[in-house]
Structure 1
Amino acid sequence: MTVRTDVVVIGGGYAGVLAANRLTQRDDVTVTLINPRPRFVERIRLHQLVGGTDDAVVEYRDVLADAVRLVVGTVTLVDTADRTVRLSDGTSLGYDYLIYAVGSGQADRRVPGAAEHTYPIATLEDAQRLDRALSATPATAQVTVVGGGPLGIETAAELAEAGRRVTLVCGGPLGPYLHPRGRRSVARDLARLGVTVLDGAGSRVTSVTGRSVILQDGRELGGDVIVWAAGFTVPDLAARSGLSTDAMGRLLTDETLTSVDDVRVVAAGDAAAPSDVPYRMSCQAAVQLGPVAADTVLSRIAGEQPAPLAVANAAQCISVGRRAGIYQFGHRDDTATRFHIGGRAGAWVKELVCSGILKMVAREARRPGSLTFTSFATDKSRRRRVEAADAGDARATEHAA
Structure 2
Amino acid sequence: MADNTDVVVIGGGYAGVLAANRLTQRGDVAVTLVNPRPVFVERIRLHQLAAGTHRAVTDYRDVLAPGVRLVVDAVTRVDAAERSVALAEGGSLGYDHLVYAVGSGGAEPPVPGAAEFSHPVSTLEEAQRLADALTAAPAGAAVTVVGAGPTGIEAAAELAEQGRKVTLVCGGILGPYLHPRGRRSVAGRLAKLGVRVLDGPDSTVAEVTRETVRFADGRDLRSDVTVWTAGFGVPDLAARSGLSTDALGRLLTDETLTSVDDPRIVAAGDAAAPSDLPFRMSCQSATRLGAHAADTVLRRIAGEEPEPVNLGFFGQCISLGRGAGIFQFANRDDTAKGLHIAGRLGARVKEFVCLSTLKHLAHEAEKPGSLTWVADDTRRELLKAGRPAAPTAR
TM range (shorter): over 0.9
Residue identity opposite 1:147 in structure 2: G
CA 1:95–1:23 in structure 2 vs 1: closer, same or farther (change >3 Å)? same
CA 1:223–1:6 in structure 2 vs 1: closer, same or farther (change >3 Å)? same
Q: In the alignment, which residue of structure 2 is the partner of 1:109? A: 109
Q: CA deviation at 1:387?
A: 2.9
Q: CA deviation at 1:390?
A: 7.8
Q: In the alignment, which residue of structure 2 is the partner of 1:386? A: 383
Q: Distance in 2 between matches of 1:305 and 1:175?
A: 40
Q: In the alignment, which residue of structure 1 is the partner of 2:349? A: 349
Question: Secondary structure of the equivalent of 1:202?
Answer: helix
Q: CA deviation at 1:388?
A: 3.8
Q: In the alignment, which residue of structure 1 is the partner of 2:187? A: 187
Q: Distance in 2 between matches of 1:123 and 1:261?
A: 29
Q: CA deviation at 1:80?
A: 0.2
Q: In the alignment, which residue of structure 2 is the partner of 1:329? A: 329
Q: CA deviation at 1:84?
A: 0.3
CA 1:128–1:391 in structure 2 vs 1: closer, same or farther (change >3 Å)? closer
Q: In the alignment, which residue of structure 1 is the partner of 2:68? A: 68
- Could you state the TM-score of these two structures normalised by the residue count of structure 2? 0.97
Question: Secondary structure of the equivalent of 1:355?
Answer: helix
8 Å CA contact 2:382–2:388 kept in 1: the answer is: no
Residue deviations 1:94-153 (CA, integer Å, cap 9, x gap): 000000000001233121111111000000010001001111111110000000000000
Residue identity opposite 2:126 in structure 1: D
8 Å CA contact 1:107–1:120 kept in 2: the answer is: no
Residue identity opposite 1:116 in structure 2: E
Question: Secondary structure of the equivalent of 2:332?
Answer: coil
Percent identity of equivalent pairs: 68
Q: Distance in 1 between matches of 2:303 and 2:53?
A: 48
8 Å CA contact 1:107–1:122 kept in 2: the answer is: no
Residue identity opposite 2:375 in structure 1: T
Q: Distance in 2 between matches of 1:160 and 1:296?
A: 44
Q: Distance in 2 between matches of 1:78 and 1:230?
A: 29
Counterparts of 1:237-276 in structure 2, within 5 Å, are 237-276=237-276
Q: CA deviation at 1:3?
A: 2.3
Q: In the alignment, which residue of structure 1 is the partner of 2:23? A: 23
Question: Secondary structure of the equivalent of 1:252?
Answer: strand
- In the alignment, does 2:313 pair up with 1:316? no
Residue deviations 1:364-387 (CA, integer Å, cap 9, x gap): 1111111111xxx22211012223
Q: Distance in 1 between matches of 2:217 and 2:320?
A: 28
Q: In the alignment, which residue of structure 2 is the partner of 1:397? A: none
Residue deviations 1:278-320 (CA, integer Å, cap 9, x gap): 0011111101100000000000000001111111233010000
Q: Distance in 1 between matches of 2:216 and 2:386?
A: 33
Q: In the alignment, which residue of structure 1 is the partner of 2:218? A: 218
Tell me whether 203-212 or 285-294 shows the greater mean CA deviation: 203-212
Residue deviations 1:232-280 (CA, integer Å, cap 9, x gap): 1100000000000000000000000000000000000000000000001
Q: Distance in 2 between matches of 1:206 and 1:239?
A: 30
Provide the alpha-carbon RMSD of the alignment: 1.2
Q: CA deviation at 1:83?
A: 0.2
Q: Distance in 1 between matches of 2:74 and 2:138?
A: 36
- In the alignment, does 2:97 pair up with 1:97? yes
Q: In the alignment, which residue of structure 1 is the partner of 2:176? A: 176
Counterparts of 1:136-151 in structure 2, within 5 Å, are 136-151=136-151
Unaligned runs of 5+ in 2: 390-394
Residue identity opposite 2:246 in structure 1: D
Q: Distance in 2 between matches of 1:213 and 1:391?
A: 36
Question: Secondary structure of the equivalent of 1:309?
Answer: coil
Residue deviations 1:342-398 (CA, integer Å, cap 9, x gap): 11111111111111111111111111111111xxx2221101222344899xxxxxx
Q: Distance in 2 between matches of 1:284 and 1:218?
A: 40
- Could you state the TM-score of these two structures normalised by the residue count of structure 1? 0.95
Residue identity opposite 1:379 in structure 2: D
Q: Distance in 1 between matches of 2:341 and 2:192?
A: 17
Question: Secondary structure of the equivalent of 1:155?
Answer: helix
Q: In the alignment, which residue of structure 1 is the partner of 2:165? A: 165
